Structure 1
Amino acid sequence: MRKFLLATASVIVGAALAQTAAVAQAPVPDNLEKLSNFQSTGTTEFTFVEQSGDYADGIKKNLERVKMPPGFKIGLYAVVPDARHMAVGPQGVVVFVGTRKDKVWSVTDRNKDRVADEVKDFAPSLKFAIPNGPCFSKDGFLYIAEQNRVLVYPAAEFFYESPDVAAFNVVKQGELIPADQESYNHTARVCKIGPDGKIYISLGQPFNVAPKENLETNTKWGIGGIIRMKTDGTDREVFTYGVRNSVGHDFDPKTGDLWFTDNQVDGMGDDIPPGEINHQTAMGQHFGHPWYGGGSVRTTEYAGEEVPVDVVMPAAEQVAHAADLGMSFYSGKMFPEKYNNAIFSAQHGSWNRTTPVGARVMVTFIDDEGNAKTEPFAEGWIDENDEYLGRPVDVATLRDGSILVSDDLAGAIYRIWYEGN
């Protein structure tokens, strides 16, 4: 009897394993192909995020600690899990929010009271891989830069109400960087459409200091730099070299020049090297990595070596290890005149400094000669126990002139507005 039971169990287990193998080998439906052909995928459900309750109340309580210049106010705009970089729709209908996971969120303020009414996942029939970087063209095309792919969604502000959205390849999966260069580190891409109508995409290199054997590949592909291409994916070229890991860039509305943040080398002590806000004035400029760890501080790995390139030093040095991420030029009309065309940027906060720094919003003022000076604008997300209550990631401007600040620790988006003195 025992032998019979064992034999029967063996048959059942074997059949189950065979069925599992068959399921594993079955082709996964290519929903992108269906969406590109305007075909339904059969997906009908969204994931909605609750916007009220104890969790939201706790975030609001923490915001009472945030200090800003007189006349400014801050409030909770939306609860958005893992909120990273944001793209505000040109029609003012919806804000798309990327993550470092597998979701893109759409955030809608339907009654225009400047607090979101609805947060749901965007394009739930698609499988995303680190869809950190959404950006819009002026004519309403949404682009999302993932770990190793870029997709475009025409009329996203209209189609997002459906689980199925029109979606097309700009850069196919596996062609943004070589597949063997994919990494879990420094893969949060950001994108912006430049004054020339091309899309600019940052490609962080994954190492603390890029090793010599990677430099040729990095230079060829723009890894550790910023690339640009036409919005149909053609005419790709490397625009920026010598970047360790930039997770924020924008174009000066006055000059058209590219400005970008850069996270600098770890493991050199609490106070060096500085973080950077950089100003690029011509294609092909080099910003120092891996010979420089940040500012004029040389890396240990390349110390004493002759630097083989002309290096552009940062326009504004930032406190070491504060992790400067998203940034944008202020284009609104709500704030006082001194903030016109200033850069608002987010410091995510240090992860390996003895005493944490950052976790705040900075503002950088640029004078007529192009000189830049940075100062804190909103801070208070590190408490008296040196614990993080939030970690700002990105800054974007709403049509009314207020700004949004994303926070991937709290899983929230804040709104900052000006009421005057």
Structure 2
Amino acid sequence: MKRHLLSTVAVLGLFVASTAHGQDTGDNMKKLQAFQSTGTSMDFKTIEQTGDNADQLRKNLEQIKLPEGFKIDLFAVVPDARHMAVGPQGVAVFVGTRKQNVWVVTDRNKDRMADEVKQLAPSIDFTIPNGVCFSKDGFLFVVEQNRVLTLPAAEFFYESPDVAVGEVVPKGKLIPASEESFNHTARVCRIGPDDKLYIALGQPFNVPPEGKLDLFRKEGIGGIIRMDRDGKNREVYATGIRNSVGMQFNPANGELWFTDNQVDGMGDDIPPGELNRATKAGENFGFPWFGGGHTRTEEYKDAEPPADVVFPEVEFTAHAADLGMDFYTGSMFPQKYRGGVFSAQHGSWNRTQPVGARVMFTPVNEDGTAGEAEVFAEGWLTASGEYIGRPVDVETMKDGSLLVSDDLAGAVYRISYEK
């Protein structure tokens, strides 16, 4: 088995060296890396799962339309719920946010509803911990605005305010501090079939100025980077990406698929959102020369684009804000859905007639290409143009059901199928 299956103590030894970057890599981080208690209270921040709010969320779900045989239920009340990571042991679901919390959702009696939602690791100060992902051997990775942490045995240690933790990338080293922004900093991550950590780094502009391109290309900003699980051997895997907030590897062939949010301010119907497929390292996906699909940006319309641009597998409705995605690996859903891509559309802001706020399904052909995308779940955007929810991420559960997170409603839903 790989080196990462060594004891937790040995693995954490890889990370102890870096402890002097910013406020919350101080005393608490030093203590946690030395397996010492921080004295943080056992009085966890927990979220009520019953009452008027939960009842209203269930009532709202009556408006959601699904294909025949499917149903949607409230799985958990989770404030600001963004990207999710299902624990490999099936003990808990970890949910990131664009604020300061990571939540742990536990269904202890397996009735397919959360019994408990509580704060993860209150002894750690997180900053935009949107990106959460698991390795198969149980390491949770948390990608923040400008730091990457790993929590070995997260499904065990989450019961305590103190957790085993290591710094994969120290604070201020994921991107240059000069490039920290309030925009496009919700990172996502996955562990690839090569056992490396992949991270999407959105660039902060609508369309970046030419003077930033060399720096962004070098650092992987506006692209996808990969590194060893201990942070070593970092490299830029893909470029030409505006702001990807969803990616997953195709289990059939190991190729990396990802969504991308495209340029605003070009009109209601252009440019399209994207679902992309990376077949090898080093590919360029066209931004900023292309604002989405084959649509050229005004800022770079006279510049010669790279000759080897890879265009998207699927073009989605413009400005629907395509975010989290997952390949369906379960057996609960009908054969039609197995091996295909579910993806969440957060919903538009830059459009006179709003669109999105739904879950899409894209079949994948035997040759690895995409089939025709279709709407799978919709209704969070009402006929009057009001959002009652904004889907962010989708994740397949061990029983084959599909979780959908919603940061507007502060909820995680469960979609299941019965014959």
So what's the TM-score if we normalise by structure 1?
0.93
- What CA distance in whole angstroms lies between the structure 2 residues aligned with 1:33 and 1:211? 40
Q: Find out whether 1:145 has 2:143 as its counterpart.
A: yes
Instruction: Within 5 Å, give how 1:33-72 maps onto structure 2.
Output: 33-44=30-41, 45-72=43-70
Q: Which runs of 5+ in 1 are unaligned?
A: 1-25
Q: Secondary structure at the match of 1:338?
A: helix
Return the index of the structure with the highest Cα Rg: 1
| Amino acid aligned to 1:264 | Q
Instruction: Within 5 Å, give how 1:58-137 maps onto structure 2.
Output: 58-137=56-135
Kindly indicate whether the alpha-carbon contact (under 8 Å) linking 1:286 and 1:309 is maintained by their aligned counterparts in 2. no
- What CA distance in whole angstroms lies between the structure 2 residues aligned with 1:329 and 1:299? 31
Q: Which residue of 2 aligns with 1:3?
A: none
Q: Which residue of 2 aligns with 1:303?
A: 301
| Amino acid aligned to 2:28 | N
Q: Find out whether 1:314 has 2:312 as its counterpart.
A: yes
Q: Secondary structure at the match of 1:399?
A: coil
Task: Please list the CA deviations of residues 81-107 of structure 1 after superposition, one character each: whole Å capped at 9, or x if unmatched.
Answer: 000000000000000000000000000
Shift of 1:30: 2.5
| Amino acid aligned to 1:199 | L
- What CA distance in whole angstroms lies between the structure 2 residues aligned with 1:34 and 1:149? 18
Give the root-mean-square deviation of aligned CA atoms: 1.1
So what's the TM-score if we normalise by structure 2?
0.93
Q: Secondary structure at the match of 1:162?
A: coil
Q: Which residue of 1 aligns with 2:380?
A: 381
- What CA distance in whole angstroms lies between the structure 2 residues aligned with 1:304 and 1:328? 37
| Alignment counterpart, residue 293 of structure 1, candidates 282, 291, 294 | 291
Shift of 1:416: 0.2
Q: Which residue of 2 aligns with 1:339?
A: 337
| Alignment counterpart, residue 193 of structure 2, candidates 181, 192, 195 | 195
Shift of 1:371: 3.1
- What CA distance in whole angstroms lies between the structure 2 residues aligned with 1:78 and 1:163? 21
Q: Which residue of 1 aligns with 2:27?
A: 30
| Amino acid aligned to 2:262 | Q
| Amino acid aligned to 1:404 | L
Q: State the percentage of identical aligned residues.
A: 67
Q: Secondary structure at the match of 1:313?
A: coil
Task: Please list the CA deviations of residues 236-275 of structure 1 after superposition, one character each: whole Å capped at 9, or x if unmatched.
Answer: 0000100000000000001100000000000000000000
| Amino acid aligned to 2:171 | Q
Kindly indicate whether the alpha-carbon contact (under 8 Å) linking 2:24 and 2:125 is maintained by their aligned counterparts in 1. no
Kindly indicate whether the alpha-carbon contact (under 8 Å) linking 2:142 and 2:149 is maintained by their aligned counterparts in 1. yes
Count residues with an aligned counterpart.
395
Kindly indicate whether the alpha-carbon contact (under 8 Å) linking 2:219 and 2:236 is maintained by their aligned counterparts in 1. yes
Shift of 1:309: 4.3
Shift of 1:360: 0.3
Q: Which runs of 5+ in 2 are unaligned?
A: 1-22
